[in-house]
């Protein structure tokens, strides 16, 4: 898995223009069954993906924390919201709460998430490949294929399955 992760930024860079063209066309005319196709591709890929052998998302990009995430996780630690924010979070350029540093402070050496049951919504949904109207987050997906081997494979399969 580590070799795959190490090669991913270069592979994603090589595919960037092709992917960008594909998503531009997809956005203009998304097929009616896009949600169905994405659900299928996502399920097939994650059946064979070992996230615990990877954790590259947790190691390289932190999630965005919504106010609800902050309240829930602070409560989990029995901390006051403000105390939790000061200890773990910062506000980024887009005014969102993000981690002060990566790898994520809640990631264990065994790649387990120590707050799995209360983890941020963004962590639960990453890499967002099963969300509806997937064409609307192409800018994010173009970045995620360099981080997430599963997202990379899903986009490669998309290009084979969907003729734009
Ligand atoms: S909160 Fe958990 S799932 Fe989210 S980035 Fe940190 S370790 Fe990963
Ligand atoms: S979601 Fe992607 S980057 Fe995160 S652990 Fe799973 S395969 Fe790796």
Domain locations along the chain: 2-54+129-161, 64-125
Q: Which atom of ligand 2 is nearest the CA belonging to 58?
A: 4
Can you read off the two tokens belonging to residue 16? 């960037």
Side-chain-side CA neighbours of residue 39 (13 Å):
6
Q: Which residue CA neighbors atom 2 of ligand 1 most closely?
A: 113
Average pLDDT over every residue of 95-108: 96
SS3 readout for 74-90 = HHHCCCCHHHHHHHHEE
**Cα(58)–Cα(56) distance, integer angstroms:** 5
3-state secondary structure at position 135: helix
**Phi, psi (rounded to 5 degrees) for 12:** -65, -40
Average pLDDT over every residue of 138-142: 94
Band of residue 10 on the pLDDT scale cut at 50, 70, 90: very high
Q: Which residue CA neighbors atom 4 of ligand 1 most closely?
A: 123
Residue 145 CA: which ligand is closest?
A: 2
Distance (Å) of CA 69 to CA 8, 61, 63, 155, 163:
30, 17, 10, 29, 38
Q: What is the pLDDT of residue 164?
A: 87
How many angstroms is it from 70 CA to the middle of ligand 1?
13
Average pLDDT over every residue of 95-103: 96
pLDDT per position as a tens digit, 109-122: 999 999 999 999 99
**Cα(4)–Cα(19) distance, integer angstroms:** 19
How many angstroms is it from 120 CA to the middle of ligand 1?
7
The ligand 2 site (C-beta within 6 Å) comprises 49, 51, 54-57, 126-127, 147-150
């Amino acid at each position: 898995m580590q070799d795959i992760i190490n090669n991913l930024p270069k592979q994603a860079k090589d595919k960037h223009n092709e992917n960008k063209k594909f998503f531009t066309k997809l956005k203009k005319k998304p097929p009616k069954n896009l949600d169905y196709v994405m659900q299928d591709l996502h399920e097939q890929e994650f059946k064979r993906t070992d996230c615990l052998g990877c954790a590259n998302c947790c190691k390289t990009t932190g999630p965005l924390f919504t106010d609800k995430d902050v309240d829930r996780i602070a409560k989990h630690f029995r901390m006051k919201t403000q105390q939790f924010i000061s200890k773990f979070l910062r506000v980024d350029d887009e005014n969102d709460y993000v981690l002060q540093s990566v790898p994520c402070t809640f990631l264990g050496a065994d790649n387990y998430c120590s707050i799995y049951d209360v983890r941020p919504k963004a962590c639960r949904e990453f890499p967002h490949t099963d969300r509806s109207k997937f064409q609307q987050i192409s800018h994010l997906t173009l970045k995620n294929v360099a981080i997430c081997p599963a997202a990379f494979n899903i986009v490669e399969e998309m290009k084979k399955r969907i003729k734009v």
